Amino acid sequence: MVLTTGGTIASKPSESGRSESGALSGEHLLSQVTLPQGADITLEVVSILQKPSNAITLSDLAELYRHGREALDREEVDGLVITHGTDTLEETAYFLSLTLPIDKPCVITGSQRAPHQLGTDAFKNICDSVVAAADDQLRQLGCVVVFNESIFAARYARKVNSFQLNGFEAPGVGPMGYVDGRRVKLYYTAAAITSPMTGWDFPLPRVDLLPAYLDASPALLKACIESGAKAVVIDGLGRGHVPPSWVAPIKELINAGVPIAIVSNCAQGPVNTSYEFSGSLADLASAGVLTLNDISARKARLALALLLSNTPSAALGEAMERIMT
């Protein structure tokens, strides 16, 4: 089963000479894909969305989950492929890795070059994704990203290049394997989520993402909550630090019952309480900030939103730790 959502991979040329993202239907897109000789795979395609991925919403994720779950629940469906714009592909992949069943492969892909552009990777990435989704090796691994002939675990996949064909990597972890024609090779299997998150409710609570940077104003923290956010994920400096001026408002928010989590803004490496100064991770952890390792802020935001929808505040830290393990 192939579900399409738009993005560069479904673009056509506009009158201005630019690319109109998401203009092509899934049926039109798949009609141009040629599978490797000898591949005995039957495809069914459904267009779910036709939009650029900067316009994907949490409501869209819930809708995509519903369609994905219905497809995977069908006995005759052996695997799922989702085409998506690359700007937010890693977030959608991680959301679905937390929520969809893992007994059948789920592969997400996109392209850096539109189908009409010279040297497009659109059809090759779709072809590789279909081959991967039909391979039993990917069962029990949750969602994966297939891009430029490489396979990445959804948790670690990141867009690392804005235009070249090697658009995705898994910094510090590397690819799980590759697709070479009809052959799927896994170097290792990422720790799979033993079971999908259940009981989460929709609409998901709003969780804001706030980057820490040199002399950043602490007023930003309260602005998030006062404008409607129910929690905040801080994209922290280095080992998980924030400006000293942030400490007091962070403590105030936590004392008021607002969950706050922090990750490292570095592409590689965990947060750690190895320093002792105002604004250090040790300072924040002692105040009750949730410290999260080996995950980007964009993905931590989604995990926290899912948990907030059905987890009591007192159990939030333990629940988040289970996901991060």
Q: What is the CATH number of the domain that holds 25?
A: 3.40.50.1170
Give percent of the chain above pLDDT 70. Answer: 98
**Does some domain include residue 202?**
no
pLDDT at 82 exceeding the cut of 70 = yes
The active-site residue out of 4, 5, 83, 86 is 86
Strand (E) or helix (H) holding 303: helix 297-308
- Tens digits of per-residue pLDDT, 269-300? 999 999 999 999 999 999 999 999 999 999 99
**Catalytic (active site) residue 4:** no
Same domain, 212 and 125: no
**Does some domain include residue 236?**
yes
- Tens digits of per-residue pLDDT, 24-39? 999 999 999 999 999 9
Mean pLDDT of the chain: 95
Q: Which domain holds residue 267?
A: 207-324
**Catalytic (active site) residue 92:** no
pLDDT given for residue 66 in this prediction: 97
Same domain, 153 and 298: no
**Does some domain include residue 130?**
yes
**Does some domain include residue 219?**
yes
Same domain, 26 and 137: yes
The b/e string for 173-184 (b: 16+ C-beta within 10 A; e otherwise) is: bebbbbbeeeeb
pLDDT given for residue 323 in this prediction: 87
Same domain, 128 and 51: yes
CATH number at residue 242: 3.40.50.40
Same domain, 77 and 165: yes
Q: Average of pLDDT values for 153-166?
A: 97
pLDDT given for residue 195 in this prediction: 76
The band of 192, judged by pLDDT with boundaries at 50, 70 and 90, is low
Quote the CA–CA distance of 44 and 211 in Å, as a whole number.
41
87 is in an annotated binding site: yes
Same domain, 98 and 228: no
**Does some domain include residue 199?**
no
pLDDT at 159 exceeding the cut of 80 = yes
- Tracing tokens 């159990």 back to the chain, one arrives at 315
The active-site residue out of 4, 5, 8, 99 is 8
Same domain, 170 and 28: yes
283 is in an annotated binding site: no
* Structural domains of the chain, count: 2
In 3D space, the residue among 17, 16, 167, 153 whose CA is nearest the CA of residue 85 turns out to be 167
